[in-house]
Structure 1
Amino acid sequence: MKNLILTTAALALTAGIAMADTVRMGTEGAYAPWNFINDAGEIDGFERELGDELCKRANLECEWVKNDWDSIIPNLVSGNYDVIIAGMSITDERDEVIDFTQNYTPPDPSAYVAMSDDVDVTSGVVAAQTGTIQAGYIAESGATLVEFSSPDETLAAVRNGEADAVLADKSFLAPIVEEDGDLRFVADEVPLGGGVGMGVRESDAELKEKFNAAIQSMKDDGSLNTLISKWEVSSTF
């Protein structure tokens, strides 16, 4: 999943929450089926349904906040919301700045999409969203990386010839490829990341444990696998 290139390592992690207050859930709202804005203008998707259920199980009052991906960690640290639930991979780099719950999905394979079967993803131009784990992989792969601020822009770059291919989560790309006859999967899938978890401030250990318990309860009763299968975001546990 996504791996934000961190520029906020020097920020002090001092913003905490009182457990009696409303917990603010920060998400991008631009990465279907994980999270997106529906026709009613509301945050929707796998993580909206999951987050609402986790809050219920943790006995927490929660509200949702939309935030752009490139500032999603800095704004958590600054206290603009209390939790990140936005398709965020658990990575060592991120863990230096924030903390994570246990994962609520296994790692989702990354995949290349192009408009031609003969694209060479090892030496060509490959698009990725800025600050993602895919962008980091491309930068080290020998291919030429072009970065964009939103996932839709990476696909536009392939369609207009600015990039030969895009690398992103397969769960994001699959419904788009199914609907667009000009796009197709190419090359091998790439296993990246350690699963997706909720990001919290390092000072919010109590909140982390509340969500850990809620996630574990959903794993134990099978409801998490049911939700994963419903939204087709990754393999099940």
Structure 2
Amino acid sequence: MKKLVLATAALALSAGLASADTVRMGTEGAYPPWNFINDKGEVDGFERALGDELCKRAELTCEWVTNEWDSIIPNLVSGNYDVIIAGMSITDEREQVIDFTQNYTPPDPSAYLALSADLDVEGAVIAAQTNTIQAAFVAEHGWTLVEFATPEETIAAVRNGEADAVLADKSYLAPVAEAEADLVLLEREEAIGGGVGMGVRESDGELKAKFDAAIQSMKDDGSLNALISKWEVSSTF
């Protein structure tokens, strides 16, 4: 589904998972329906439900940690948590810094949310969250890009006229379009990224293998597709 790293992460610390009693699951907590903070102040959403089930199948004790998106990979590498599960698309650039499990969703189409349905995006000002595959897509095409630290700020930029449209995962933008009559999804969509996976440190091959096996078991028994459909985050496998 979403995001590219634009800054170079620090070298991984040698402290691995072997001696840890608890696997710390790092997420953003600001990208519904993938991950968000609910009224109880707890991590919620598709990835909370998925992560809890994967930990159960892998026989791991897990706890949840939130981290801002722009430092989410460096803080994995430096040991602040053990896994990223945050709507992160698998990309070649990211794989130069961390490893990924197999994908747990197919690629999610990226969509444009705008004030006008007839907007020409190629001549418009497009907002995107910093360090995302959408920001990279706009930049690579030479269009006018404005970047923001959070998803909420990209939407606000369209509302207040700083941008003509926002490019993000369709699963994130569709509920916003339904809730706000002044904002519309454009017919044009973009196919970006190679699906969403869990990020782990390159030194944590054993942990990666455990989550790979758990993801595969959910694919095999149909429970992953059921969870994807429940939360409407992407197409099913």
TM-score calculated relative to the size of structure 1? 0.97
Counterpart contact for 1:114–1:186, Cα < 8 Å = yes
Alignment of structure 1 residues 147-166 onto 2, 5 Å: 147-166=147-166
Distance 1:76 1:10, change over 3 A: closer
Q: CA deviation at 1:18?
A: 1.7
2:144 is the alignment partner of 1:144? yes
Task: Give the Cα–Cα distance (whole angstroms) in 2 for the partners of residues 14 and 36 of structure 1.
Answer: 31
Task: Give the Cα–Cα distance (whole angstroms) in 1 for the partners of residues 181 and 158 of structure 2.
Answer: 14
Task: Give the Cα–Cα distance (whole angstroms) in 2 for the partners of residues 103 and 13 of structure 1.
Answer: 25
**What's the CA shift string for 1:127-160, capped at 9, x where partnerless?**
0000000000001223200000000000000000
Distance 1:19 1:229, change over 3 A: farther
Q: Could you tell me which residue of structure 2 aligns to residue 73 of structure 1? A: 73
2:127 is the alignment partner of 1:127? yes
Q: Could you tell me which residue of structure 2 aligns to residue 225 of structure 1? A: 225
Q: Give the letter aligned to residue 226 of structure 1.
A: A
Counterpart contact for 1:45–1:231, Cα < 8 Å = yes
**What's the CA shift string for 1:112-134, capped at 9, x where partnerless?**
11001221100110000000000
Q: CA deviation at 1:9?
A: 4.3
Counterpart contact for 1:125–1:143, Cα < 8 Å = yes
Task: Give the Cα–Cα distance (whole angstroms) in 2 for the partners of residues 4 and 28 of structure 1.
Answer: 14
Mean Cα deviation higher: 55-64 or 118-127? 118-127
2:31 is the alignment partner of 1:50? no
Mean Cα deviation higher: 69-78 or 11-20? 11-20
Counterpart contact for 2:33–2:172, Cα < 8 Å = yes
Task: Give the Cα–Cα distance (whole angstroms) in 1 for the partners of residues 135 and 205 of structure 2.
Answer: 30
2:8 is the alignment partner of 1:8? yes
Task: Give the Cα–Cα distance (whole angstroms) in 1 for the partners of residues 161 and 20 of structure 2.
Answer: 52
Q: Could you tell me which residue of structure 2 aligns to residue 177 of structure 1? A: 177
Q: Give the letter aligned to residue 22 of structure 1.
A: T
Task: Give the Cα–Cα distance (whole angstroms) in 1 for the partners of residues 36 and 9 of structure 2.
Answer: 28
Counterpart contact for 1:200–1:208, Cα < 8 Å = yes
**What's the CA shift string for 1:158-192, capped at 9, x where partnerless?**
00000000000000001110111001011411000
The CA RMSD over aligned residues, in Å, is 1.1
Distance 1:119 1:58, change over 3 A: same
| Structure 1 alignment gaps of length 5 or more | none
Q: CA deviation at 1:84?
A: 0.2
Counterpart contact for 1:6–1:94, Cα < 8 Å = no
Count residues with an aligned counterpart.
237
Task: Give the Cα–Cα distance (whole angstroms) in 1 for the partners of residues 105 and 59 of structure 2.
Answer: 22
**What's the CA shift string for 1:16-72, capped at 9, x where partnerless?**
112651000000000000000000000000000000000000000000000000000
Counterpart contact for 2:128–2:167, Cα < 8 Å = yes
TM-score calculated relative to the size of structure 2? 0.97
Task: Give the Cα–Cα distance (whole angstroms) in 1 for the partners of residues 171 and 19 of structure 2.
Answer: 34
Counterpart contact for 1:34–1:233, Cα < 8 Å = yes
Q: Could you tell me which residue of structure 1 aligns to residue 216 of structure 2? A: 216
Q: CA deviation at 1:99?
A: 0.2
| Structure 2 alignment gaps of length 5 or more | none
Q: Give the letter aligned to residue 110 of structure 1.
A: S
Q: Secondary structure at the match of 2:4?
A: coil
